[in-house]
A and B are shown apart, each in its own frame.
Chain A
Amino acid sequence: MKSNEIRIKRKNDWLTPEGTRDLLFEECAAKREISESVTRLFENYGYSEVITPGLEFFDVFNGYTRQFPQETLYKLVDGKNRLMVLRPDSTLPIARLASTRLSDEELPLKLFYNQNIFMVNPKDSGRDDEISQCGIEILGGKSGAADFEALVLAAKSLAACDEDYRIEIGDCGIFTELMADFECEPELAVNTRHWIETKNLPMLNSVYSSDKIAEEDKVFAEAFKALPRLFGGIEVLEEAKKYLHGENLEQALTRLEKLCRDLSDIIPEEKIRVDLGLLSSKNYYTGVIFRGYVEGYGQPALSGGRYDRLLGTFGRGAGAVGFAMNVEAVARVLLKKDKTRFERKPDVIVWSENLALGLKHCGDLIAEGLNVVNSVLECPKCTKKYAKEHNIKRVDVVDKDGNVLSEEV
């Protein structure tokens, strides 16, 4: 047996790790088209681009109010034996950046990014471990104005990719406000948050059933049970007033209503949804939070919100708001709808006797706005055959004097 015929099968040479994939051709085109149209939008609105390292210190993601469960992080150690992670989120690195290299820059700062994040998903769940995101962060500024701008850009980002989208708005400050006044064990607070987030009505109904709750706590119990049900159109905010009392909560509702009304001046009202049960497992959000949905993807395609205490933990006390869109999720939805939209076919294939003249001709065609393949095949005949097989409509043959013979196939 010749040595090049011996092939030792080591299976990890052949595969990409679970949760990752190679992207090919139209998949790349779709992803690039989306990230380009979204980042162009950010640039048009005056945002500046930042790229943060793929590797970060574990500590960045393991501080107060910024705890990522360690089983969800890809970890490794550097040459000094320090614990590192593949960045699981772009907001924290940007908060770090704002407090260090950008600490002399005046607020508000408007930044955008286009980079990947990594997370360890449960085994065989079919979820992506590597996710490409485009997003913005508005650091500082008047919170109402910044929230509104972030929402508008979120809606525009989705609309730039697919008309079939919904943007959903909530305020996780409402839950925090309720919990601050309700006295209970920390464990119950954590569970309640989780039950509201997952709309687990059976658990909420049983734990907060009126016969188990003291009279003075009934108003909280009713509110906790109501929050996950309060979703739908803007009219939900009216109903919410029955359950949410007190100055701060009423203010939060008024704020939300204003955001929604203002937004409906810019995008169709039926695209705007409200969900007061919207909470985020990312515990750095403090106020308005929002999500974007597209038909055909089972999880939110965009998510974001206001985080007013995060920058402070890095030493720069300022509020901020931001969002990230899952570029690949949107790309997949669009590919499923119409793959041909992203297929790139060359217009012409060029074969030449004189290589320099051939490439020069290619350059001329490209200048005319055509996509060209320079044939590196043996002869004009095999070039024509190749053109037929690959559905290239035109073959140009350049002779040694530079004369071009154009032929449709």
Chain B
Amino acid sequence: MENRKVRIALTKGRIEDKAVGILEKIGFDVTDLRNKGRRLILNIPNEDIEVVLAKAADVITYVEHGVCDLGVVGEDTIMEHGGKFCELADLNFGKCKFALAVKKGTDFFAGYGVKTVATKYPKVTRNYFEKQGIDVDIVKIEGSVELAPLVGLADGIVDIVETGTTLKENGLEVQTDVAPISARLIVNTVSLKLKQERILELVNLIKGVIE
């Protein structure tokens, strides 16, 4: 049987920092992870674990294809990207929400005209409005979506809201919440079965140190 190390993919950036903190709390030596330079595959000394750093959607791809066994990724990416894997734990950090926001004082749902929504997350947006049974036009925006309603491209936006400061500074406000978000621990279905003992041990260690 192929004896590669257990591989964990972490979403680069804020999720990575918190996740490294969790690994440290477990008692793993994370010096390599803290001084990573430009390296993308990092070792945890004295453990059969390897850490891979990737962009959020890629974490899902690597886990889904089974080249990484575990992954830490935001629920926002899971909702937008989808995929076949097991979602074993809520890591209780990276908490925020998807929300529908509009220009202050306007009502997105008023009138019978078809509304336009700008978003970086077309699938999340489509699913939400499908559930409500509302027809909307969705425009995919790559950068700051807050601009779209201000310049008149859209009636509202669906985006991640953490503190609401960006919305406020641009004269927008939340009309309604769409879904809560937090960081999740995902596991490849086959790894979970073939390396069950080691993976569940790791999952339990991780669960043990999160609040």
A residues with a Cβ closer than 8 A to B are 122, 125-126, 164, 166, 168, 198-203, 205-206, 228, 231-232, 273, 275, 293, 295-300
What total of chain B residues lie within 8 Å of the partner, measured CB to CB? 26
* Contact across chains for B193 and A273 when beta carbons are under 8 A apart: yes
Q: How far is the CA of A295 from the CA of B2 in the complex (A)?
A: 7
Smallest CB separation, B74 vs chain A (Å)? 13
- A199 to chain B: which residues have CB within 8 Å? 86-88, 187, 192
Q: List 10 A-B contacts (CB under 8 A).
A: A125-B61, A125-B64, A126-B65, A166-B194, A198-B84, A200-B87, A203-B87, A205-B90, A231-B192, A275-B193
Question: Which of B87, B187, B188 is close to A202, meaning CB atoms less than 8 Å apart?
Answer: B87
* Contact across chains for A231 and B66 when beta carbons are under 8 A apart: no
Given contacts A298-B67, A298-B188, A299-B66, contact A202 B89 (CB under 8 A): yes
* Contact across chains for A202 and B2 when beta carbons are under 8 A apart: no
- A126 to chain B: which residues have CB within 8 Å? 61, 65
Asked whether B208 is an interface residue with its Cβ less than 8 Å from the other chain, the reply is no
Query: Apart from A125-B83, A198-B84, A232-B196, what are 16 other A-B pairs with CB-CB below 8 Å?
Result: A122-B82, A125-B61, A126-B61, A166-B194, A198-B86, A199-B86, A201-B90, A202-B87, A202-B90, A231-B192, A293-B194, A295-B2, A296-B2, A298-B65, A298-B66, A300-B189
Q: How far is the CA of A200 from the CA of B1 in the complex (A)?
A: 29
Interface of B is mostly: mixed
- A228 to chain B: which residues have CB within 8 Å? 86
Asked whether B184 is an interface residue with its Cβ less than 8 Å from the other chain, the reply is yes
Asked whether B98 is an interface residue with its Cβ less than 8 Å from the other chain, the reply is no
Smallest CB separation, A397 vs chain B (Å)? 47
* Contact across chains for A293 and B193 when beta carbons are under 8 A apart: yes
- A231 to chain B: which residues have CB within 8 Å? 192-193, 196
- B89 to chain A: which residues have CB within 8 Å? 201-202
Smallest CB separation, A378 vs chain B (Å)? 48
- A205 to chain B: which residues have CB within 8 Å? 90
Q: How far is the CA of A21 from the CA of B192 in the complex (A)?
A: 29
